[in-house]
């Protein structure tokens, strides 16, 4: 297994943090917390970069609420700046780990998902059953 060294400078680079911000804000441009963060964007990103470089970054407490749609679920939401840090990490380590995952893993992968998993299952089912359609 290949080892990777000195990833921290890439992780903490302003370019990576800026790109992470763009990914975190995608489809949320009208949310108040995004607009507030953007008011001092460069200052906020530089502050985040400094915290990461000095190992002083601490995630904020999760905001928890109940969602009734259609069933009752307890949702815990990260603070926006914590979601940026999530993308900061994923930008660097995601491609490294992606190669290690098994091909038929469908959870939380960009090119996959529930529909693709069902299609793959159907393919295996048809191979086992012999190509005929059966009602289960």
pLDDT digits (tens, 9 = 90+) for 96-120: 888 887 788 877 777 788 888 888 8
- What is the domain count for the chain? 2
| Residue 93 within any structural domain of the chain | yes
Low-confidence ranges of the chain (pLDDT < 70): 131-136
| Residue 1 within any structural domain of the chain | no
**CA angle (114, 120, 123) in 5-degree steps:** 145
Same domain, 92 and 125: no
pTM greater than 0.85: no
């Amino acid at each position: 297994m290949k080892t990777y060294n000195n990833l921290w400078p890439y992780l903490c680079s302003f370019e990576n943090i800026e790109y992470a911000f763009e990914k975190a804000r995608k489809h949320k441009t009208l949310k108040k917390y995004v607009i507030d963060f953007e008011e001092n964007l460069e200052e906020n990103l530089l502050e985040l970069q400094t915290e990461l470089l000095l190992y002083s970054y601490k995630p904020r407490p999760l905001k928890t609420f109940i969602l009734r749609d259609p069933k009752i679920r307890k949702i815990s939401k990260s603070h926006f700046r914590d979601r940026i840090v999530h993308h900061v990490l994923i930008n660097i380590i995601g491609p490294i780990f992606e190669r290690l995952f098994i091909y038929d893993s469908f959870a939380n992968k960009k090119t996959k998902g529930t529909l693709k998993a069902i299609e793959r299952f159907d393919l295996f089912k048809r191979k086992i059953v012999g190509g005929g359609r059966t009602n289960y």
